[in-house]
Amino acid sequence: MTRKAIYAGSFDPVTYGHLDVISRALRFFDELTVAVAASQDKNPLFSLPERVDMLSRVTGGMEGVCVEGFEGLLTGFAAKREVKLIIRGLRALTDFEYEFQMALTNRKLDDSVETVFMMPSEAFSYVSSSMIKEIVKLGGSVRAFVPLEIEEELKRKLRK
């Protein structure tokens, strides 16, 4: 039986913390769908197709990873792909309350789907996408937090 999971997020932009969770999740699953949420309510910097493209590029060498964008409920996306496990990343205690509410809501929507929380390595636990965008806006380098090609995309968007 193939072990499948979904790692969901907005990935605006993808960070080394996200990539760390992806690579560690692959130790437990044969197939990992990285589900990029449209997240229009978050007013993302990058469009959904741009985020899917960036993630596809930086995970291209990872066997078993598939990147897909989606709109609507995550539980609906999981059901269509016959996946019963959702992975969510937790960086710090401040993420926990929101993620806990989301996991319980998803369970209420579809009790056949479970949520597992994974923390990135300590080196990435304090990094957020919004912090990275702010650093780039102010002219700083984010090479310690994102792959070079992602930093270039951020510069292109934010330093016009």
Residues serving a catalytic function are 18, 42, 91, 129
Helix H segments across 26-147?
48-58, 74-80, 93-109, 129-137
Residues β-bridged to residue 54: none
End-to-end Cα spacing for the chain:
49
**Contact of 33 with 6, CB cutoff 8 Å:** yes
Q: Is 31 exposed, middle or buried (0-12, 13-18, 19+ CB in 10 A)?
A: middle
- C-alpha atoms less than 13 angstroms from C-alpha of 99 in its C-beta half-sphere: 19
- Residue count of the chain, please give it: 160
